Amino acid sequence: MYNLGRKRMKTELKKFREPQRWGTRFGIIMAVAGSAVGLGNFLRFPVQAAQNGGGAFMIPYFVSLLLLGIPLMWIEWTAGRYGGGYEHSTAPGIFHTLWQKNRFVKYFGVIGIFGPLIIFIYYTYIESWTLAYSVFSLTGKYKTCLDQKSMQDFLSGFQGLQKNGYFSSLSWAYGFFIITFFLNLAVIYRGITRGIEKFCKYAMPVLFLFGLIIAVRVLFLGTPDPQRPAWNSLNGLGFLWNPDFSALKSAKVWLAAAGQIFFTLSVGIGVILTYASYLSKGDDVALSGLTAVSMNEFAEVILGGSIVITAAFVFFGPMATQEIAHSGAFNLGFVTMPLIFQKLPLGAMFGAFWFFMLFLAGITSSISLAQPAVAFLEDEFNLDRKHAVILLGAVSFLLCQPVIFLLGRGIVNELDFWGGTFCLVLFALIETILFGWFFGIEKAWKEMHKGADIKIPGVYKFIIKYITPLFLFFILGFWFYQEGLPVMLMKGGAAADKAYILGIRLVLLLIFVVLAVLVKIAWKRKK
Q: What's the CATH code of the domain at 402?
A: 1.10.4160
Q: Is residue 282 part of a domain?
A: yes
- Quickly count: other Cβ atoms within 10 Å of residue 435's Cβ: 30
148: left (phi over 0), alpha (psi -120 to 50) or beta: alpha
Q: Mean per-residue pLDDT for 9-23?
A: 61
Per-residue model confidence (pLDDT) at position 527: 67
> What letter would DSSP give residue 281?
T
Reply yes or no on whether the pLDDT at 470 is more than 90.
yes
Per-residue model confidence (pLDDT) at position 477: 84
Q: Is residue 21 part of a domain?
A: no
Reply yes or no on whether the pLDDT at 275 is more than 60.
yes
Q: Which residues contact 427 (CB under 8 A, 6 or more apart)?
A: 91, 108, 111, 112, 115, 268, 269, 270
Distance CA 122, CA 103 (A): 33
More confident residue, 431 or 330: 431
Distance CA 464, CA 466 (A): 6
Q: Is residue 392 part of a domain?
A: yes
Q: Mean per-residue pLDDT for 61-67?
A: 94
More confident residue, 444 or 416: 444
Reply yes or no on whether the pLDDT at 237 is more than 50.
yes
- What one-letter code names the amino acid at 191? G
Helix or strand or coil: residue 279? Answer: coil
Helix or strand or coil: residue 243? Answer: strand
Distance CA 289, CA 276 (A): 10
Domain total of the chain: 1
Give me the sign of the Cα torsion angle 375, 378, 384, 387. negative
Reply yes or no on whether the pLDDT at 5 is more than 70.
no
Q: pLDDT class for 214, splitting at 50, 70, 90?
A: very high
> What letter would DSSP give residue 429?
H
Question: Domain range for residue 52?
Answer: 26-526
Q: Is the pTM of this model over 0.95?
A: no
- What one-letter code names the amino acid at 221? L
Q: Mean per-residue pLDDT for 495-524?
A: 94
Q: Are 434 and 98 in contact (CB under 8 A)?
A: yes
With helix as H, strand as E and coil as C, how does 361-388 read? HHHHHHHHHHHHHHHHHHHHHCCCHHHH
Range from 6-15, 81-90, 105-114, 116-125 carrying the lowest mean pLDDT: 6-15
232: left (phi over 0), alpha (psi -120 to 50) or beta: beta
Report the candidate in 294, 202, 283 with the shortest Cα–Cα distance to residue 25.
283
Q: Are 423 and 512 in contact (CB under 8 A)?
A: no
Q: Is residue 19 part of a domain?
A: no
With helix as H, strand as E and coil as C, how does 124-180 read? HHHHHHHHHHHHHHHHCCCCCCCCHHHHHHHHHHHHCCCCCCCCCCCHHHHHHHHHH
Q: Are 72 and 269 in contact (CB under 8 A)?
A: no
Q: Is residue 16 part of a domain?
A: no
Distance CA 41, CA 203 (A): 16
C-alpha radius of gyration, the chain, whole number = 23
Give me the sign of the Cα torsion angle 38, 42, 44, 49. positive
Distance CA 525, CA 383 (A): 14
**Per DSSP, which regions of 241-385 are E strands?**
none
Distance CA 296, CA 32 (A): 9
Reply yes or no on whether the pLDDT at 478 is more than 90.
no
Kindly write down the DSSP assignment for every residue of 47-105, as one continuous string: HHHHHTTBGGGHHHHHHHIIIIIHHHHHHHHHHHHHHHTTT--SHHHHHHHHSTT-SSH
Q: What's the pLDDT tens digit per position in 71-85?
A: 999 999 999 999 999
Helix or strand or coil: residue 412? Answer: helix
Reply yes or no on whether the pLDDT at 480 is more than 50.
yes
- Quickly count: other Cβ atoms within 10 Å of residue 492's Cβ: 7
Q: Mean per-residue pLDDT for 142-146?
A: 91
Distance CA 523, CA 380 (A): 8
Helix or strand or coil: residue 440? Answer: coil
Q: Mean per-residue pLDDT for 59-71?
A: 94
Q: Is residue 413 part of a domain?
A: yes
Q: Is residue 9 part of a domain?
A: no
What's the N-to-C CA distance of the chain in angstroms? 26
- Quickly count: other Cβ atoms within 10 Å of residue 251's Cβ: 11
Reply yes or no on whether the pLDDT at 12 is more than 90.
no
Q: In Å, what is the CA distance from 49 to each residue of 65, 123, 250, 325, 451?
A: 15, 22, 14, 9, 37
Q: pLDDT class for 327, splitting at 50, 70, 90?
A: confident
Q: Is residue 11 part of a domain?
A: no
Partnered with residue 243 across adjacent β-strands are 54
Q: Mean per-residue pLDDT for 220-248?
A: 84
Distance CA 431, CA 418 (A): 18
Q: pLDDT class for 288, splitting at 50, 70, 90?
A: very high
Per-residue model confidence (pLDDT) at position 442: 97
- What one-letter code names the amino acid at 349? M
**Helices 347-381 and 111-139 sit at what angle, rounded to 10 degrees?**
150
382: left (phi over 0), alpha (psi -120 to 50) or beta: left
Q: pLDDT class for 243, splitting at 50, 70, 90?
A: confident
Per-residue model confidence (pLDDT) at position 8: 52
Q: Are 286 and 452 in contact (CB under 8 A)?
A: yes
Q: pLDDT class for 2, splitting at 50, 70, 90?
A: very low
Number of helices (H), then strands (E), belonging to the chain: the values are 29, 0
